[in-house]
Structure 1
């Protein structure tokens, strides 16, 4: 029987997997929060809000709030909390976290990494937010999208600044964690379309990720898994150019079976089980089973991993993720 790691590689290379890859199983390591290597002294320079708790500032000075009853935190963008109010003055207010921390700062995080069985699973480092998300976290989505049109030179400069930080951060992650896989968040669309046109995406975002993902690949990382739980079918050629191995979060609106036919062998797809359809208060095991069966029958065994579309193992409503896992196990039997 293949290990979880081996089975995933057979799946995404068009080889001979002996079972369906079960969601995040090949990236999950025991004791790691959220199933992956999360947390480091660089991002820990800031704070994160607790559900229903007080808003907190992260290491970039961005204020996040997590209201009670909501699935996660999000930046606060009223006039008092917005970091970038004038894109032409971003240099005055945007300050990246320090990355040149001493080795002893990393020591508390290393036991989790050292405990990973790298023969069984990938040592997967979780990185978020991404370049585009960082832009709108700093200034709000409306201002961000307008600035791409109205102040392109300033947006290029800000993205260069964020990219240089990501490269410094990546160098430390590689040095201390030596990950086999990077699981990188950056949502690039809504459920209906990408936030940027493919041409604009190519101009502003692609160069940044070619540097970031190129650095990881040149420094021992085998797999790049990129999360965007959105419509982004129009961006897949650019994902391939960036060096993404697996697009995680591909919702069903992307016509995943068609993407597999068109791009399988160049990139693989992880998702097609939409949170919006099953991760809700009145979910049922029967409803979950139907969606899982549909996804597997549509997409087959190569270049596809059936998975909840949210960006990590788990679900908003207790039991949904586990029900998907159980159904995939049943299909494998």
Structure 2
């Protein structure tokens, strides 16, 4: 799904070198990407650093607009998997991976400590949006065989947050999205880079 807040925003090039390009996107984020190879973008700056900016600049745009869904890509991948007798999953990000492109890891994690209700609101908004978009997609194109979520929540040796913070702030969003999948009898795989065992 395309979870950029402002779907009509055209990325603005801020700086460009032979190897990299710095753009401002529809989340108000400044991200630098390499031109010659695929990698995680460098997080340069974010317009959203607190609850006020989130409520004014991002949340009002996060509606279940069908432009957020690539129906053709899903349809084609589903058909190809079934032709090859392969297990087909809808794959996408969950709430943690949806939030940091808006405000960055640092602001999000500090927000979990200093303003947990702000991050809870982001979790609720993105989990509700994900479920709404899945409902639209699956009604029009049929169910997958399962769901795969990308949700990188840890450093090499520890999670980004304490188990208590996870349970209070992030887990309700995971429960909402996974409960929806289970209501459709779909198995769920939650992939997470980093050491997240303490959260289990």
Among 169, 191, 195, the residue aligned to 2:133: 169
2:120 matches 1:156 = yes
- Measured after TM superposition, the shift of residue 167 of structure 1 is 1.5
Describe how 1:16-165 pairs up with structure 2 within 5 A.
42=2, 45=7, 52=19, 54-56=21-23, 60-68=27-35, 71-74=38-41, 76-78=43-45, 82-95=46-59, 96-101=61-66, 106-107=71-72, 109-117=74-82, 120-128=85-93, 130-165=94-129
**Aligned 8 A contact 2:158 2:195 in 1:** yes
- Measured after TM superposition, the shift of residue 86 of structure 1 is 2.6
TM-score, length basis structure 1? 0.49
Distance between the aligned counterparts of 1:57 and 1:178, measured in 2? Answer: 35
**Aligned 8 A contact 2:47 2:53 in 1:** no
Residues 140 and 219 of structure 1, relative CA distance in 2, 3 Å threshold: same
Distance between the aligned counterparts of 1:217 and 1:168, measured in 2? Answer: 15
**Aligned 8 A contact 1:43 1:97 in 2:** yes
CA RMSD of aligned residues (A): 3.1
Unaligned runs of 5+ in 2: 12-18
- Measured after TM superposition, the shift of residue 62 of structure 1 is 4.1
- Measured after TM superposition, the shift of residue 58 of structure 1 is 5.7
Distance between the aligned counterparts of 2:36 and 2:73, measured in 1? Answer: 32
Residues 161 and 97 of structure 1, relative CA distance in 2, 3 Å threshold: closer
Residues 57 and 181 of structure 1, relative CA distance in 2, 3 Å threshold: farther
Residues 231 and 172 of structure 1, relative CA distance in 2, 3 Å threshold: same
Among 101, 124, 148, the residue aligned to 1:183: 148
Aligned residue pair count: 188
Describe how 1:298-317 pairs up with structure 2 within 5 A.
none
Residues 168 and 201 of structure 1, relative CA distance in 2, 3 Å threshold: same
SS at match of 1:136: helix
Unaligned runs of 5+ in 1: 1-39, 237-333
What is residue 30 of structure 1 aligned with on the other side? none
- Measured after TM superposition, the shift of residue 57 of structure 1 is 5.7
TM-score, length basis structure 2? 0.77
C-alpha distance after superposition, 1:120-162 (max 9, x if no partner) = 321111102x211222221122221111111112222222112
What is residue 15 of structure 2 aligned with on the other side? none
**Aligned 8 A contact 2:31 2:44 in 1:** no
Moved over 6 A (4+): none
Describe how 1:194-273 pairs up with structure 2 within 5 A.
194-221=159-186, 223-236=187-200
Distance between the aligned counterparts of 2:26 and 2:128, measured in 1? Answer: 16
Distance between the aligned counterparts of 1:86 and 1:43, measured in 2? Answer: 19
Query: 1 or 2, which has the higher strand percentage?
Result: 2
Residues 90 and 191 of structure 1, relative CA distance in 2, 3 Å threshold: same
